[in-house]
Each structure stands twice: as C-alpha cells, then as structure tokens.
Structure 1
C-alpha cells in the first residue's frame, strides 16, 4: 500500500474523509499559505511518502486582496515555485499531485461580495494556469478541481459553507474526483 501525504491549508485540514484510509496522512493546517508550507517540507520528508497531494493558494490570494486584516503581499508565483522545487528536490522519487485552487463564492459580510467573487474567480482561473504550467515543469500531475466546483462563475453553493470552505457534500465530491483521477492513492 502506498503512503500518501496531503498537505495544504484549511481546505485540506478539514478533509476528514481521508482519515478512513490507513495509508493517508493529512498535514493540512488552517490559515497556511505557501510561505508556511515551505518549512513543512522538512516534516513531509520525515514521512517519506510515495505520493504527495498539494492544495494551496487561496490564503495567499486572499492576503494579496487584503481580505485579511493582517494581509500582506505574497509573491505567489515565486513562493509556489519554491514550494514545488523544495518538494521535488527533497523527495525525488515521490509522485506529486498538484490540485488547482478552488473558486470562491460571496459571503454575507466583508469584501467577498458577488461582484468581487466573479472577478476573483477569473483571476483564480488565471493563477490555475500558472499552477498547471508549474506542474509540468516539476513533472507533477495537475488536478483541475476548479472546474469541478464552479457553477455560474462561482463556487457551487452546495459545496460551500462560507464561500471558501467546503461542506460535507463538497468533500464527498472532492473524494470522488480523487478516486476517479488518482486511483493509486486508494489502492
């Protein structure tokens, strides 16, 4: 059985359905950005996984939009590239799956209104093209979850708790997507 590590932010951390699989370790941490995942490569290396599934970027994006009060600018293209480089250099025989950023949907409060959600999702789709390109550069497999979760230009409301995080139905859809596109994870 292959050892699999999922790493990322709260979307990964809250993926509780993964706990039913003995071969999967989830080291996702809520609030994390690429800048915080880079040092986690040391922990990742200790696991010596056969497969890594990486989903990161929405918190970087929201920081750059000043969505958070403590927002600061993150040079995402550089930090994401560094993260992929660190993973592939330190785990050269590990298969890497890179998951696209998910779309967002409006929230009741704050700056994530319908106008911004539509605009931001166009930007996220553009960033996903970068992520897809980098997956080729680092010989990773790109998984397009964005198009699985978008409906009418926004994160499908059936899959979202708050415009960013996923519902149980969202995680079931994510799990089904993984089983369809990465069956080696669950063997």
Structure 2
C-alpha cells in the first residue's frame, strides 16, 4: 500500500513539473481561449503600418535627447506636447512586435539620443510569440543601446481592461511577461518601470485610463507622463 502511494505521488510530481514547464514556455497559449496566429520572425514586415512609418523615418532628420520605442500605445501621443518638451522623438509603430523593434534600430540610433524608453510585448502576446522570445528581444535591444552609450529604460506591458476579450486570461500572461522582464532587467542592470502600479488596479487597466480595452485615454497618457518626468530629469542631470 505504501509503495502504491509512493508511486502515485511520483506520478503526480511528474505531472506538476510538466505543467510548470508548459506554462513557462507557452503561457499565452494556455490562457488565451482564442487560438493565436502562427508566428514567423518576419511577420512584422506584413504590417502596413510598419512599412509606412519606416518610409517616413527614412526622411526624418530631427535629433533628440529622448526616443520612444514602441507600438501603437507609444505612437498615439505627442510626447513633446504631453511632457512640455522639445527633445523627444517618437518611434512608435502601430501593431508592431519586438522583432519589428529589432529590425528598425537604425532609426533609433540616428536620433543620437541619451535615453530610450521602450514599451513592447502586448502584440507579441496576441500573436502567440513565446515570452522567452519577447524577453530576449528586449534584452538584445537594450544591449545594442548600451553599446552606443544610450540608456535603455523598459516599461512594463500594460494590463487590458474588461472590454478586452478574455481579459482575465490575457492579463495572466501580461503578469508573467512583466515578471520575466523585471527579472531580466535586474540581472542586466537595466531600469524597469512598472506603469501598472499607477495605471492599473487588481491586475486590470483602470477604466478612466482605458479607451478601448487596450489603448489609453488622455488621462492615461497624463498619468504615464507624470511617471516619466522625474525619471527624465534624473537621467539627464548626470
């Protein structure tokens, strides 16, 4: 009887270990009830916004101390107006993924910034890109910036609100990705800023900050800007 119980315990432990492995490697696929699209490393090249914005960035010549690298959440605001500055360059691209970020770093370098704020990962989750790939991409980006004496600052991925389909499942993946990003930043000496402390409550984007479940209202951007301003002041004072 004792041997039988021990055998059952061993089987249970094996099942738990396999479950943990699958969760860590494919958390989005477990939690999201909508089957993700098949991912390829060049999928961002099919994004019409990517093509259009890069076509414009090739002709932009303005330099700035600060550059914003991200997707539509970064793209949809005039950062200079928001923060009452004139030295911020917006390099957000609608619907972009972190592979797309890596593929357009030349348009970050040619701005010659001192700081680069980065927010990316939400579209990776939507497309079923595993968290390890997203984390590694953001680490590669940070190291490329550091090699050029540019300070990388990584923002957490924002939670979605209740208007987003399967928001509970999706936000569980956001939590897991943010923990991975936080750990990666701590190990590599990269600044990590958790926007969700102010913009979210109980793991959900606050209603007053949510435009459509994912994107931000004016109040949401104002709250984000209030987090950024003292960071910019501190970093540029050195």
Please state how far the C-alpha of 1:146 moved relative to its aligned partner.
Answer: 1.8
Number of residue equivalences: 171
- Which is higher, the Rg of structure 1 or of structure 2? 2
Following TM superposition, by how much is the alpha carbon of 1:29 offset from its aligned partner in structure 2, in angstroms? 0.7
Larger fraction in helix: 2
Name the SS of the counterpart of 1:40 in structure 2. Answer: coil
TM-score when normalising by structure 1: 0.82
Q: Is the CA contact (8 Å cut-off) linking 2:135 and 2:180 kept in structure 1?
A: no
Structure 2 unaligned spans of 5+: 1-63
1:102 aligns with 2:166: no
The answer to whether the Cα contact below 8 Å between 1:88 and 1:94 also exists between their aligned partners in 2 is no
2:175 maps to what in 1? 125
Structure-2 residue corresponding to 1:14: 76
Per the alignment, residue 171 of structure 1 pairs with 221
Of 117, 128, 133, the residue aligned with 1:53 is 117
Question: Which residues in structure 2 correspond to 1:42-121 (within 5 Å)?
Answer: 42-64=106-128, 74-92=129-147, 93-107=149-163, 112-113=164-165, 116-121=166-171
Task: Return the alpha-carbon distance in structure 2 between the equivalents of residues 106 and 61 of structure 1.
Answer: 17
What is the TM-score with the length of structure 2 in the denominator?
0.65
**Rounded Cα–Cα distance in structure 2 between residues aligned with 1:21 and 1:82:** 29
* Separation in 2, partners of 1:82, 1:148: 26
Unaligned 5+ runs, structure 1 = 65-73
Q: Cα offset for 1:25?
A: 0.4
Q: Is the 8 A contact 1:3 1:50 kept in 2?
A: yes
Pick closer, same or farther for the CA change 1:16–1:91 going to 2, 3 Å.
Answer: same
The Cα RMSD (Å) is 2.1
